Amino acid sequence: MARQGGRATDPRKVSQELFTLTYGALVAQLIKDYEQDDEVNKQLDKIGFLFFACRGYNIGVRLIEDFLARSGIGRCNDFRETADVIAKNGFRMFLGITPQVTNWSAAGDEFSLIMDANPLADFVELPDDHNQLNYSNILCGVIRGALESVQMAVDVRFVQDILKGDNQTEIRVKFIKRLEDALPAGEE
C-alpha cells in the first residue's frame, strides 16, 4: 500500500505541491506583515511584477527573450495575438494550465482569462475574515511585468475567484498604451 512519491525526475520540473505550499507560505507571511487584505493584494501584485520586469533591464528582457525563443514565437502584431500567447504559451509553460481567452471588449483592448484550475490555490480555503483577499494576485503582477518588458502597459485585475465562491476564476487584462522607451519603466 505504501506508495512511493516516485516521480520521474525531469530536471526542469519541480513538485507542484512544493510550489503551491511555498506560495502559501509567502501569502501567509504577507498577511502577517500587512494585515489588510487590499494591502496584501497590492504587495502580491508588486512581487509578481518583479518576476519579469525590474530585475534590471537585462534579466527581465532576457527572461522574456528566452521564453519567446523557447516557445518559437515572434513579435505579436496585435493585442489579440498577445492574449493568445499569454494564455497558450505563457500560462502553459509556467503554470501548466491554459486559460481560456474570452469576453473581448468591443474596442478590442480588453479581454478576460478564465481558469478552471489554479495551481497556486490548491489546498486553499479563504477564511471569512479575508474575503477581500485576492489570493492569486501575484498573477496580475506577473502579466503586467511580462508585458511591460515588451513595452506594453496594461491594467490587470481579478474579477472572479473560485476561492471566493465564484464559479470560475477570471482575470481581466486591459491595454493602456505602448511604452515608447526601450527601457521598462518602474523601480530603477
Phi-psi sector, 47: left (phi>0), alpha (psi -120 to 50), beta: alpha
Q: Closest separation between CB of residue 167 and another protein, Å?
A: 9
Q: Which is nearer to another protein, 9 or 77 (CB)?
A: 9
Q: Which is nearer to another protein, 6 or 72 (CB)?
A: 6
Q: Closest separation between CB of residue 103 and another protein, Å?
A: 21
Q: Which is nearer to another protein, 139 or 154 (CB)?
A: 139
Q: If we measure between CA atoms, which residue out of 87, 106, 104, 105 comes closest to residue 96? A: 87
- Cα–Cα dist 30/25, whole Å: 9
Look at strands 110-115 and 100-102 and give their pairing.
antiparallel
Q: Which positions touch another protein (CB under 8 A)?
A: 1-7, 9-19, 21-26, 28-29, 33, 47, 50-51, 93-96, 119, 122-125, 128, 131, 164-166
Q: Which is nearer to another protein, 12 or 177 (CB)?
A: 12
Q: What type of residue sits at position 158?
A: F
